[in-house]
Amino acid sequence: MGKKAIISGITGQDGSYLAELLLGKGYEVYGLQRRASLPNTGRIDHLYGRKGFNMTYADLSDSSNLLRVIKKIGPDEFYNLGAQSHVGVSFDVPEFTVNTNALGPLRILETIRNLGLPIKYYQASSSEMFGKVLETPQKVTTPFNPQSPYGLSKVFAYHITKIYRTGYSIFASNGILFNHESPRRGQNFVTRKVTMGLSRISLGLQKTLRLGNLDAKRDWGYSKDYVEAIWKILQHKKPDDFLIATGETHSVREWVEEVGKHLGMKIEWKGKGLKEKGIDKKTGKIVIEVDPIHFRPNEVEFLQGDSSKARKLLKWKPRTTFKALAKLMTEADLIYVREEVAQGHPVTK
């Protein structure tokens, strides 16, 4: 019989790709789904009915329910991907963010400890923990300097994972993943916001796209490559902490230009600060404007990871370049937007 894995956050970007990966490897997958007033399973609807795929209601804020579910399933592996994952939103809902992202992992680890079962635990740690970076490129050993409630909640989760590993001999590992994107990325993260927004503009469905800090730089990879690393981290012979990144860094501005190219635009920048505009040279139209509503109280300006430890010990490396990522996401969103229009979705001019 195949291994059993619980995935929290299965309805999210990474959870959906990880579920596909594990099912392909013959796992029995148990996804934790939280209650929502509208369907929240769009990314995994295609998996219902597939052999080995199961879903159950659970919430990371509910210890008794986590205990019941983990005890009943008795998994070999627990992938904790569930989180309030939006950094900007974490300034608006800090308590909820900390409850889910910091206390959620503690609740799972306490359950594993109390049950005394040999469950391997994966914690979805984040490059956002490096915050205002103290070293470049960032390594597994670089000190954290978080700048948001989200970043700090993840620092707690990172350390509590290590503490349960060393204190109670639980196979508990951290994957410090740098930004990773895909056509399944939430639409309020910058890469997807740009691929969706510029696709709509190219089809004449929207006039401009309003963004925040255009100078922020990120080390962007592809979610499908990164879930392979997540799986490999729990297959490593001993629990440990790994950093997963491409090693390349690009600005939001470069992402906009690259996506624009795939839509036949040539975006040039005019003006400074709040008055800066992105203009499509081919049409002369303004396509990007700056809106301070998207600025954060504290900003993480720069991230670039050194994943040499994972490349050596896990034999993992990213396969998708920045340019390839921009191409695949833009192509997917052009189709997505055309389908939205065909289905009669409202058009926001």
Q: What residues line the site for ligand NAP (CB under 6 A)?
A: 8-9, 11-15, 32, 34, 36, 40, 59-61, 81-85, 100, 124, 126, 177, 179-180, 186
CB atoms within 10 A of CB 161: 24
Provide the minimum distance between the beta carbon of 217 and ligand GDD in the complex, in angstroms, as a whole number: 8
Confirm if 154 and 201 have CB atoms less than 8 A apart.
no
Residue 60 partner contact from ligand NAP, ligand GDD, none using kind-dependent CB cut-offs of 5 to 8 Å: ligand NAP
Nearer to ligand NAP, 124 or 288 (CB): 124
Beta-bridge partners for 5: 29, 77
Provide the minimum distance between the beta carbon of 123 and ligand GDD in the complex, in angstroms, as a whole number: 12
> Closest Cα partner for 12 from 318, 221, 242, 227?
227
Nearer to ligand NAP, 125 or 206 (CB): 125
Q: Residues of 63-72 as b/e, b for ≥16 C-beta within 10 angstroms?
A: bebbbebbee
Nearer to ligand GDD, 202 or 249 (CB): 249
Nearer to ligand NAP, 100 or 199 (CB): 100
Gap between the Cα atoms of 215 and 199, Å rounded: 22
Residue 247 partner contact from ligand NAP, ligand GDD, none using kind-dependent CB cut-offs of 5 to 8 Å: none
Provide the minimum distance between the beta carbon of 100 and ligand GDD in the complex, in angstroms, as a whole number: 12
Provide the minimum distance between the beta carbon of 263 and ligand NAP in the complex, in angstroms, as a whole number: 24
Which residues of the chain form contacts with ligand GDD (CB under 6 A)? 85, 87-88, 126-128, 178-179, 188-190, 193, 211-213, 216, 218, 252, 294, 296, 299-300, 303
- In the block, tokens 């399973």 appear at 41
> Closest Cα partner for 138 from 236, 291, 243, 26?
243
Gap between the Cα atoms of 274 and 261, Å rounded: 24
> Closest Cα partner for 294 from 217, 188, 219, 194?
188
Nearer to ligand NAP, 13 or 304 (CB): 13
Alpha carbon 75 to chain centroid, angstroms: 24
Residue 245 partner contact from ligand NAP, ligand GDD, none using kind-dependent CB cut-offs of 5 to 8 Å: none
Provide the minimum distance between the beta carbon of 33 and ligand NAP in the complex, in angstroms, as a whole number: 7
**Which residues 6+ apart lie within 8 Å of 341 measured at CB?**
203, 205, 347
Provide the minimum distance between the beta carbon of 315 and ligand GDD in the complex, in angstroms, as a whole number: 23
Residue 78 partner contact from ligand NAP, ligand GDD, none using kind-dependent CB cut-offs of 5 to 8 Å: none
Nearer to ligand NAP, 11 or 307 (CB): 11
Nearer to ligand GDD, 27 or 255 (CB): 255
> Closest Cα partner for 189 from 171, 164, 212, 167?
212
How many residues would you count in the chain? 349
